[in-house]
Amino acid sequence: MSHRLGVLISGRGSNLQSIVDAILRGELQAEIAVVISNRQEAAGLMRAREARLETVCVLQKDYASRELYDAAVVGVLQAHGVDLVCLAGFMRLIGEPLLEAFPNRVLNIHPSLLPAFPGLDAQRQALEHGVRVAGATVHLVDAELDGGAIVLQGAVPVLDADTVESLSARILVEEHRLYPRAIARVLDGKWRLVGRRFVVDAAAASA
């Protein structure tokens, strides 16, 4: 039985596309059960529809609180039999209803080498701080902003001539490579949490 993913987006959906492409190439043994957006105008919805994926918009304005909103998202995910929730540019904080419904089953990708530069504008933060290496991180989501256990990371050199736009573009390439691999690693189940650490079974790591 194929693993079923729920992908949450707010924008252009390029990481959604990387997941779709990895599935089509046979590199990720999963199917996308539903794509949820909190914005009706999100360009990623068109990507999803072109891939013949089911899409659902869940809008904050329709709910009186964040908890009710999150509960509505949980309802959509559960109705579609989702095993793993993948945040792909979803510009909302995740609350307790979603974390409780999918414990250690919510993934996010962030454009920095966490714990450095959490939150918004991570690429700008990296440039302004003067780091020589930036990158991308896939992590489990918990109640702390960009604070969950790290599944995979990929480094991207920061060049002297970099702008926010050029650095962001190179980090995005790494995100597209990293996210499907991290999803596959979580889905295979051969891992455990030791404190904050995501530890892969030795046999799985050598496979």
pLDDT at 201: 84
Q: CB atoms < 10 A from the CB of 53, how many?
A: 18
**Tokens 């039985």 sit at which residue?**
1
Q: Which residue has the higher pLDDT, 146 or 157?
A: 157
What six digits make up the tokens of 30?
């999963």
Provide mean pLDDT across the span 82-94. 94
Share of the chain above pLDDT 70, in %: 97
Peptide bond into 115 cis (omega under 30): yes
| β-bridge mates for residue 142, sequence order | none
Q: For residue 145, what pLDDT is reported? A: 87
CB-based contact 128:116 (threshold 8 Å): no
- What are the tens digits of pLDDT across the range 96-133? 999 999 999 999 999 999 999 999 999 999 999 999 99
Residue ranges of the domains in the chain?
A: 3-206
Catalytic residue among 3, 110, 139, 176, which? 110
The CATH-assigned architecture of domain 3-206 is 3-Layer(aba) Sandwich (3.40)
Count of alpha carbons within 13 angstroms of residue 126, beta-carbon side: 34
Convert the pLDDT of each residue in 129-150 to its tens digit.
999 999 999 999 998 889 999 9
Residue 205: predicted pLDDT: 47
Average pLDDT, the chain: 95
pLDDT(206) > 60: no
Active-site residue 110, yes or no? yes
Predicted local confidence at residue 128, as pLDDT:
97
**Tokens matching residue 95:** 């609350």
In this prediction, residue 203 carries a pLDDT of 54
Whole-angstrom Cα distance, residue 29 to residue 22?
9
pLDDT value at 202 more than 80: no
Asked if pLDDT for residue 49 goes beyond 90, the answer is yes
* Chain segment 10-26, per-residue pLDDT in tens: 999 999 999 999 999 99
Please write the tens of the pLDDT for every residue from 164-188: 999 999 999 999 999 999 999 999 9
